Structure 1
Amino acid sequence: MGDEQGMTRVLLECSLTDKLCIIREQQYEIIIVPTLLVGVFLILLGVILWLFIRGHRAQQESPGLQGTAPVSTSRGLSREPTGQGGNVSVLLKETSVESLLRTSTHALATLQVPREQLSDVLEQIHSGTCGVTYRTKMNTGDPEKPKSVILKALKEPAELQEIQDFLGRIHFQQYLGKHSNLVQLEGCCTDRLPLYMVLEDVAKGDLLSFLWTCRRDVMTMDGLLYDLTEKQVYHIGKQVLLALEFLQDKHLFHGDVAARNILIQSDLTAKLCGLGLAYEVHAHGTISSTRAIPLKWLSPERLLLRPAGIKADIWSFGILLYEMVTLGAPPYPEVPPTSILQYLQRGKIMKKPSSCTSTMYGLMKSCWRWSEASRPLPRELRTRLENAARTADDKAVLQVPELVVPDLYAAVAGISVDSLSYCCSVL
């Protein structure tokens, strides 16, 4: 009541034609409300401009989608190497080739292979920008039983940074250690130039070439049976998952799981290779801007250039299952490589191949869940594969009548034909 009387007195002091009284009564509304509105408008304008500039800059920095894409690393990945040979960064402190080789030879003393143990007869199997890869023989002490090995030679002449990188890769292989489903480091020659990395020879070749040969009317060749069953697909897949578990335990992820990066032995032992991306993450915490991975094997987070980890490998593993059950068909055959992200954003995945069972397709679909958190971990997925293998068909041979034309495959898969020439020449 008191407040109402006070207000009455104020109003009685003004006449209805007194404009000054009306203005003073509403001065707070006139000043504060417009100020708040202007402030909110400026903030929104700033946010919109920031998002626009950020998106424009991202478009300029990222190469256009041409079938391959750069790689984004995970925030959760550890860059701290442990164990002997893990400290790759120590090599970067050296400033001359002589001191660098001296330091590395001492650090890699247990891996040094006398050059005279390596045969002068070299079979070139691949030539890349970093050097040449050969197959040769290594003397093991018994002249009757030389060992076939793969020799990776650093190109010459090489810059100091290239030598550092090559030595870093040897250190990384030493850090990884032994695993039956990874290609093993046999030794190295780093006392002087040229530098050599000596690797285990898996002479039967890569899985993609093996799958293509399975399409032909061939039973056996070089001791390898070219009849693949559903149960054998699970057998190979299990071994790849064991390798991924091993990498996960070391806080690494592979980044390029595909049939072209798996080597196969006569007993269908699978060995995961192509660990260049894992090395770059381990040594530098980032990926080289020149490294590109075929888009059709990438998970959505990788396509969106977001941080990725082992769950991205699980997505690619689902593509690998598709490759095996179709005997090396390119994924998403009806989708252009540059349209794969839009295809996945519409919630679409590959249809079940005619030669694929419902159980195997269910495993594929679990790998292709959009959310990383919804995908299984390597160990969980391996358990599911083992359970499926118990009831899998081990009699019916997978058959695809069409032979593969490498040029056509490369165009549909979104990869270069040159990258296939190495796969085809190995087998």
Structure 2
Amino acid sequence: GLTRMLLECSLSDKLCVVQEKQYEVIIIPALLVGTFLILLGVILWLFIREQRSQQQQRPGLQGKAQTGGPNWEAAECGGNVVVPLRETSVESFLQATTPALAKLQVPREQLSGVLEEIHNGSCGTIYRAKMNTGDPAKTKTVILKALKEQAELHEVRDFIGQIQFYQYLGKHKNLVQLEGCCTERLPLYMVLEDMAQGDLLSFLWTCRRDVMTMDGLLYDLTEKQVYHIGKQVLLGLEFLQEKHLFHGDIAARNVLLQGDLTAKLCGLGLAYEVHAQGAISSTRTIPLKWLAPERLLLRPASIRGDVWSFGILLYEMVTLGAPPYPEVPPTSILQHLQRRKIMKRPSSCTHTMYSIMKCCWRWSEDSRPSPRELHLRLEAASRTADDKAVLQVPELVVPELYAAVAGIQAESLSYNYSVL
């Protein structure tokens, strides 16, 4: 077209020359701008795709404080089974999975005598029951988690997935143990060991009362016993770390006690989700005041986040169950931590224990000690810890007030046993 235009003009006609230069001025910049816009679009597309992939690995945090209540409620429904299966009906699914769980099967006739109903949720009920061992003198109480009889296939898969997760973990003295299961037909049962003394938070609140013993359990707590319980929690965390897992919700409400103050971790729902799905469900929420800064910033969780929460657990124990950051609203906790503020030393806390708390609360997760290093520090501190002076807090706890300050639901405090 440009050649034709030049042929129609005379050599003395300057207009043709000007037009030729105008084409050069317009076309080349247009090509450059178009190339730039294409590259910018590709970069934005890659950025958005990366953000979406990271979002799938982030815990679901909302502006208001979320419940950390009964952890079985958070993990009862939904989720994926550890080993993907193709069966399309509940019956065929159970037929395919029951042989793999043969060693865990408990005859239903051995589960008799329900003692109490602990929790009744939308996906099933949790009971305390008796289990016959074949010897009348050795009948023991267990926790029976029952899936509702009209369960959908995805609920059955998730329930079996939880059992398989316990099977994968194996036994550890500081984790709540799976005693067996009944999965050959509906209703499905998961049988777990009973920790009759309940959760650590309720124990700490009872220690505030003028009670010396109850059912053979001492309700006086010393500094040395705080270290004793803390070391057992760390052993449980070390075990999870060896399995390339983390807990994700270390708190007094997720530690169960036996009569000899043996501590066992429960509330393993986050560990199960990471094992089964490779990421934390976006619907799962954790009380904000126990979360490490990187978790509040929606970064991927790790065992170092559990170390931060362990420092909060020490604070809970030394204050006999006080809520963390009592002067800070749950929704303002991130801004509080971003100003590099941490909790002050409680009057009942020694400088040695407070220094351990502070090393757990270092902003950078890489600068925090590992569970193993923290265990060694507690071991050293316990050698000189006071084992005579009893920790005392005169005020009794008002559950509704505690829940508001801690950022959890008050009704969740009525439960003293949680699984997954």
Residue of structure 1 in register with 2:117 after alignment: 124
Confirm or deny: 8 A CA contact 2:221 2:391 kept in the other structure: yes
RMSD of equivalent CA atoms: 3.2
Q: Distance in 1 between matches of 2:188 and 2:126?
A: 12
Deviation at 1:288, TM superposition (A): 2.3
From 138, 151, 156, the equivalent of 1:158 is 151
Amino acid at match of 1:217: D
Residue of structure 2 in register with 1:3 after alignment: none
Residue of structure 1 in register with 2:170 after alignment: 177
Q: Distance in 1 between matches of 2:201 and 2:341?
A: 25
Residue of structure 2 in register with 1:19 after alignment: none
Q: Would you say 1:211 and 2:204 are equivalent positions?
A: yes
Q: Distance in 1 between matches of 2:416 and 2:132?
A: 27
Residue of structure 1 in register with 2:65 after alignment: 67
Q: Would you say 1:101 and 2:94 are equivalent positions?
A: yes
Size of the aligned set, in residue pairs, is 379
**Structure 2 length normalisation: TM-score?**
0.83
Amino acid at match of 1:408: L
Q: Distance in 1 between matches of 2:111 and 2:60?
A: 43
Deviation at 1:276, TM superposition (A): 1.1
1:136 match: secondary structure: strand
Residue of structure 1 in register with 2:286 after alignment: 293
Confirm or deny: 8 A CA contact 1:125 1:134 kept in the other structure: yes
Q: Distance in 1 between matches of 2:164 and 2:42?
A: 48
Q: Unaligned regions of 5+ residues in structure 2, if any?
A: 1-26, 69-79
Q: Would you say 1:399 and 2:397 are equivalent positions?
A: no
Confirm or deny: 8 A CA contact 2:60 2:284 kept in the other structure: no
Residue of structure 1 in register with 2:252 after alignment: 259
Deviations along 1:322-363, one digit per CA (max 9) or x if unpaired, are 000000000000000000000000111111111000110000
Q: Distance in 1 between matches of 2:330 and 2:46?
A: 30
Amino acid at match of 2:379: E
From 285, 288, 302, the equivalent of 1:309 is 302
Q: 1:26-425 alignment to 2 at 5 Å? A: 64-68=62-66, 88-423=81-416
1:414 and 1:102, CA in 2 relative to 1: closer, same or farther beyond 3 A? same
2:393 match: secondary structure: coil
Confirm or deny: 8 A CA contact 1:236 1:268 kept in the other structure: yes
Confirm or deny: 8 A CA contact 2:67 2:408 kept in the other structure: no
Amino acid at match of 1:155: K
Deviations along 1:198-238, one digit per CA (max 9) or x if unpaired, are 00001011000000000000011011100000000000000
1:167 and 1:55, CA in 2 relative to 1: closer, same or farther beyond 3 A? closer
Q: Distance in 1 between matches of 2:401 and 2:49?
A: 39
Deviation at 1:286, TM superposition (A): 1.8
1:121 and 1:49, CA in 2 relative to 1: closer, same or farther beyond 3 A? closer
Confirm or deny: 8 A CA contact 2:67 2:409 kept in the other structure: no
Confirm or deny: 8 A CA contact 1:69 1:295 kept in the other structure: no
Q: Distance in 2 between matches of 1:211 and 1:316?
A: 17
Deviating more after overlay: 392-401 vs 281-290: 281-290
Amino acid at match of 1:399: Q
Q: Distance in 2 between matches of 1:350 and 1:368?
A: 9
Deviation at 1:105, TM superposition (A): 1.3
Q: Distance in 2 between matches of 1:41 and 1:184?
A: 59
2:164 match: secondary structure: helix
Deviation at 1:125, TM superposition (A): 1.1
Confirm or deny: 8 A CA contact 2:220 2:390 kept in the other structure: yes
Deviation at 1:121, TM superposition (A): 2.7
Q: Distance in 1 between matches of 2:331 and 2:278?
A: 27
Confirm or deny: 8 A CA contact 1:91 1:164 kept in the other structure: no
Confirm or deny: 8 A CA contact 1:63 1:69 kept in the other structure: no
2:145 match: secondary structure: strand
Residue of structure 2 in register with 1:73 after alignment: none
Q: Which portions of structure 1, spanning 4 or more consecutive aligned residues, are displaced by more than 4 angstroms?
A: 35-58
